[in-house]
Chains A and B, each alone.
Chain A
């Protein structure tokens, strides 16, 4: 039914065969018993509970705030507003001078009478109990001088401006050749405009922090994807050296990009704990998360494709207008993938922003590709139909020999294989190219497909690994496991490298006292932290071998190390071998320790010389009720070429999760910004619809056998976001194939499909 087809991913390519194997999650037993402790669940004696009160207007200033009644309320310890909050730096410019400063800048809370967005914190109540804090927050009276704001993207297109860069530092625009002339001359063209809505990450664990001071040292238990960002952001907001801030985040209840930077829960818990001189914990409510923990911005995307009659693209243009915040710019790199995906002599991509009086957007799973491919891969489907070509054949005819804009070779690119293998497994030949022509009873059946591409990044990372006298290995790094499987794959990497069973390896993550990594974000966690650990293990092995040959107590003393190996819990040098544990006990009763690092990909030669991406192909089958327009998923298949797979089980889970995000984007996810008052109207999980179990069909995931030796020492590439890329477009294209109705305004809800459905007699 939902079996993974991963036999291609041969574990035998490594001698010990641990990497790649679909072992159960190391942290599984803790998570299924309730034993995994998330941020808010940490208990410190004397902890007080905070509750945030948010602004009831979206733009203006606090004219008056009356906290007297709240202060008198039972068990209340502190009511903090802009009047009495400890001094913090100003927020700073809308655009930071460099990309990294986005993550490290001060993000003050309660430091101004200004209200910049709806539900921005205006007060914090801290009390002995959660109930008392929440009740007292309701007793605060706020009078606002409300100012007119801008809350409507399409109504303010005239305000659009070109940012200096997109997220992750990409160029705002790109131009190859002369698109406009090519498009004008193209015999076949598509000019389609798509709208993609505001979306919210909604990790299951709300953003939460327990902050505690000990002297001038601050410990923050929080839910963070990247500890170094949190540490730097907290330090700059509190104006203390980062060394005095410790971030602890061993378990994270999902992030999806919404936990890359510290939010109000973290800053306010730290401030309140400082004022009260006791630990304070604060969680955002689910409702507060919508305004205070990031979103994906609403966008209008125009895709223009010009083609010769044989299907060869002569021009590709992708223009994006996105909402941004008036006080802090965020430009999702929505059209950037289109620079690398298909061959065409003329390319143009542009990003424009329209400032609104809302909070800043944040990196939501697959920033760029998630909304961008939703539009672009539908446009490719529209072009295929216009040409009378199969959508896969159209893509094959436009397969580039090298990166179309950068002009460098691909490290690996198996997009065509992904599509062909997927077509074979999915039964794509059964697809009827005439839309609205396949029926089962009162259901219209459709097949759709789309390509997937996602850049492969690697971030600077260091890992420390130690082996003790009993041969037990401990690896420490400030990497996080946000559900991706970091604990498990890192355990596999260390066990494999050192020739030990996984039971001999302990991986400790999520503490800023450990060596710094790139954290979890941008699908780079496994490659970055994994490569650092791989290198640390190699360094450790060198130390062990050196001592094994030279130590007087060593049974391998004097052996020639040119043929050395670590396998089956033994060290072998030439013909001689010894138990690793026994060897360590003899030569280093205190054990050994070593560190290993990797440099950021952007500065490496390999990254400059090769275009590095993961690829895939998504297939979807859906059924649309011809009387009600109800859309139901029937099955999905993804074939992925993403380098070496480190754990076939957790890798598959990441992909099916991503595919489900594709279903959400295509069919249901949308946050509605009230154009009058500037608040997200449907700010809870009853009204913001994420896919639930009943929405998700059978899913099959296939990983191609691949090893990208240009990417990193492991040969692995990112997976966390690839599953989203193009998945929604495959669903949308299946709806078109089923019904003949092309909806260009996402999500595709039944009200948009129903009026145009063909009338079918009973």
Chain B
């Protein structure tokens, strides 16, 4: 019988140690956790997590937060800023559900730390509509039924908005016949290729392509 001694996950405890004890606060000022109840069976009062101040500009609004430096941009949005529209599908940059726009470029927000985005102009799905007026890509997704469960949808839409910008700027793709061409004809094949970083397990793909085609034609 084999004896196995395995240790899983990150072990760089040094990262955690020696920090100043600072409370973890939501941007809104609501404490993330209250003091644990007396009945806790585990260790009594835990050591606080070391945090660092960050200022993030999201959807044209400034947020000042104190966060664990290990916090990804995605977890900052979802767990600390109340912006839960960006989704966690894999946490490894493999599904695209967390796609947001940084400076107009689409990125996987699970693959980047919040601390790396001070001063950046971040746009999430919550920042695309103007009041009750949906962004043309959002409206096209509704009209074309470009989703079912809706979980990949914010990422698909942010990705589509970023992608349309890339196409307007003339960026070629694997589907482009002439990578040196000055402009991109956004064919269905181009849309499919450029949207292949966003998985939709419900598989609304033909509808997503139709929605993006509509939005591109409208623009």
Contacts and interface: CB of A to CB of B under 8 A. Distances in A.
The yes or no verdict on A and B being binding partners is yes
Interface of A: 1-2, 24-25, 27-38, 40-41, 43, 45-49, 53-54, 56-57, 60, 63, 69, 71-79, 84, 127-132, 134-135, 137-147, 201-206, 251-256, 275-278, 283, 285-286, 482-485, 649-650, 652-654, 656-657, 659-661, 684-686, 690-694, 696, 698-699
A590 to B, nearest CB: 32
Chain B interface mostly: loop
8 contacts: A38-B84, A76-B42, A128-B48, A131-B49, A204-B202, A253-B149, A660-B205, A692-B199
Contacts of B8: 53-54, 56, 137-138, 140
B70 to A, nearest CB: 5
Contacts of B68: 129, 131-132
Q: Closest 4 A-B residue pairs measured CB to CB?
A: A34-B85, A138-B9, A253-B151, A483-B149
Given A31-B153, A696-B206, A204 B89 contact: yes
Interface string B56-69: 00000000000010
A37 B188 CA distance: 32
A121 B104 CA distance: 41
A78 B148 contact: no
A132 B70 CA distance: 9
Contact of B41 (A56, A78, A694): A78
A458 B70 CA distance: 49
Given A38-B87, A129-B68, 13 more contacts: A28-B142, A46-B31, A53-B9, A71-B42, A73-B13, A78-B42, A146-B4, A253-B87, A277-B40, A654-B148, A661-B203, A691-B205, A693-B196
Contacts of B47: 72-75
Interface string B91-130: 1101101000000000000000000000000001110110
Which among B32, B48, B83, B124 has the greatest number of chain A C-beta atoms within 10 A?
Answer: B32
Given A135-B16, A144-B4, A684-B92, A129 B49 contact: yes
B219 interface: no
Contact of B148 (A1, A147, A657): A657
Interface in B160-192: 188, 191-192
Nearest to A46: B34
Given A31-B147, A145-B3, A696-B205, A131 B70 contact: yes
Contacts of B201: 201-204, 254, 256, 690
A143 B152 contact: no
A25 B142 contact: yes
A278 to B, nearest CB: 7
A724 to B, nearest CB: 10
Nearest to B204: A653
A131 B129 contact: no
Contacts of A204: 87, 89, 95, 97, 149, 151-152, 199-202
B33 A47 contact: yes
A135 B129 contact: no
Contacts of B87: 38, 204-205, 253
Interface residues of B, number: 94
Contact of A128 (B32, B150, B203): B32
B94 A685 contact: yes
Nearest to A134: B9
A489 to B, nearest CB: 13
Given A206-B89, A693-B205, A275 B150 contact: no
B3 A29 contact: no
A76 B7 CA distance: 18
Contact of B150 (A27, A134, A649, A693): A27
B79 to A, nearest CB: 6
Interface in B135-160: 138-139, 141-143, 145, 147-154, 157
Interface in B1-49: 1-11, 13, 15-16, 19, 24, 30-34, 36-37, 39-43, 46-49
Nearest to B203: A660
B209 interface: yes
Contacts of A33: 85, 125-126, 128-129, 134, 138
Looking at B83, B134, B200, the one whose CB has the most chain A CB atoms below 10 A away is: B200
Contact of A696 (B10, B75, B150, B203): B203
A74 B149 contact: no
Given A29-B134, A128-B32, A204-B201, A34 B126 contact: yes
B26 to A, nearest CB: 9
Contacts of B19: 74
A694 B83 CA distance: 30
B55 interface: no
Nearest to B211: A32
Nearest to B89: A204
B94 A686 contact: yes
Contacts of A698: 188, 206
Nearest to A85: B41
B73 interface: no
Nearest to B11: A138
Contacts of B31: 45-46
B49 A25 contact: no
Given A75-B46, A204-B152, A256-B201, A138 B7 contact: yes
B10 A135 contact: yes
A328 B120 CA distance: 51
A682 to B, nearest CB: 12
A33 B152 CA distance: 12
Nearest to A132: B49
A207 to B, nearest CB: 12
Contacts of B200: 204, 693
Contacts of B32: 47, 128-129
Contact of A2 (B5, B143, B207): B207
B206 A699 contact: yes
Contacts of B24: 75, 128-129
A226 to B, nearest CB: 15
Nearest to B15: A135
A666 to B, nearest CB: 14
Nearest to B33: A128
Contact of A286 (B5, B11, B43, B94): B94
A41 B78 contact: yes
Nearest to A86: B41
A75 B4 contact: no
Contacts of B198: 692-693
A659 B203 CA distance: 9
A136 B68 CA distance: 14
Given A34-B84, A48-B33, A483-B202, A275 B9 contact: no
B141 A277 contact: no
A685 B148 contact: no
B49 to A, nearest CB: 4
A654 B33 CA distance: 41
B9, B47, B86, B143: most-surrounded residue (chain A CB, <10 A)? B9
B205 to A, nearest CB: 4
B53 interface: no
Contacts of B150: 27, 30-32, 36, 251, 253, 483
Contacts of A142: 5-6
A532 B42 CA distance: 48
Contact of A685 (B4, B95, B153, B209): B95
A49 B49 CA distance: 13
A482 B3 contact: no
Nearest to B39: A277
Give the residue among B3, B33, B200 with the most A Cβ atoms within 10 A. Answer: B33
A255 B201 CA distance: 10
A128 B46 contact: yes
Nearest to B69: A131
Contacts of A684: 90, 92, 94
A484 to B, nearest CB: 7
Given A1-B210, A33-B134, A45-B34, A205 B149 contact: yes
A74 B16 contact: yes
A34 B154 contact: yes
B4 A56 contact: yes
B33 to A, nearest CB: 4
